[in-house]
Structure 1
Amino acid sequence: MLIIKVNEVPNSKEGLKERVRRAWRINTDRLYNQKELIAVYKGEILEVYKVLSYGKDQIEEKRVAFELEEISSELKGKKIIYKTANPCTIVDVEDLVFA
C-alpha cells in the first residue's frame, strides 16, 4: 500500500485526488503490485484509492504520477501513527499502527 502525506487539505474530493496523483519521487520498480494508495494528513486517512496505473509524470519527468479511482474502505477516517518524513512511501497494511 502506498502512503501519500499531504501538508494541506484541498477543499474538494477532486482537489485531493489531483494533489495525491502526481509528482512523487519514488522508484517505479518498488511500485510493482501496489494496488491501493491512501492520502494522509496529520495522521488521518482522508481517502483511499485504487491504483489503476502509474508512470513518468508528464510535467516533472523525474517524478511518478498515478491514475487513481476512489474506493470505499474501512481505513478512511482512521488515525495512524506514521513518523517517516518521506511524503510517498510503501507500507504493508498489516504494519499500520492505529492511534
Structure 2
Amino acid sequence: MIVIKVNEVPTSREALKARVKRAWRISADRLYNQEELIAVYKGEILEVYKILSYEKDQMEHNRVAFELEEKTSHLKGRKIKYRTANPCTIIEQNKLVVIP
C-alpha cells in the first residue's frame, strides 16, 4: 500500500485526487505489486484509491504519476499511526496501525 501524506486538505474529492496522483519521488521499481494508495492528512485517511497504473510523470521526469480510481474502504476516515518524514512511502497493509 502506498501512503501519500498531504499538507493540506483540498476543497473537493477531485482536487484531492489531482493532488495525490502525480509528482512523487519514489522509484518505479518499488511500486511493483502495489494495488492501493491512501491519502493521509495529519494521520487521518482522507481517501483510498485503487492504483490502475503508474508511469514517469510527464511534467517532472524524475518523479512518478499514478492513474487512480476511488475505492470503498473501511479505512476511509480512520486515524492511523504512521510517522515518516517522506510524503510518499510504501507500507504493508497488515502493518498499518489504525487508532481505535
Superposition deviation, residue 98 in structure 1: 1.6
- Deviations along 1:37-79, one digit per CA (max 9) or x if unpaired, are 0000000000000000000000000000000000100000000
Runs of 4 or more consecutive aligned structure 1 residues displaced over 4 Å after TM superposition: none
Q: How does 1:20-99 map to 2 (within 5 A)?
A: 20-99=20-99
Cα distance in 2, alignment partners of residues 75 and 98 from structure 1: 8
Percentage of matched positions with identical amino acids: 72
Q: Structure 2: which 5+ residue stretches go unaligned?
A: none
1:17 and 1:63 map into 2 onto residues whose CA distance is 17
- TM-score, scaled relative to structure 2: 0.98
- C-alpha distance in 2 between matches for 1:46 and 1:57: 23
SS in structure 1 opposite 2:19?
A: helix
> How large is the Cα RMSD of the aligned pairs?
0.4
Aligned residues, how many? 99
Calculate the TM-score normalised by the size of structure 1.
0.99
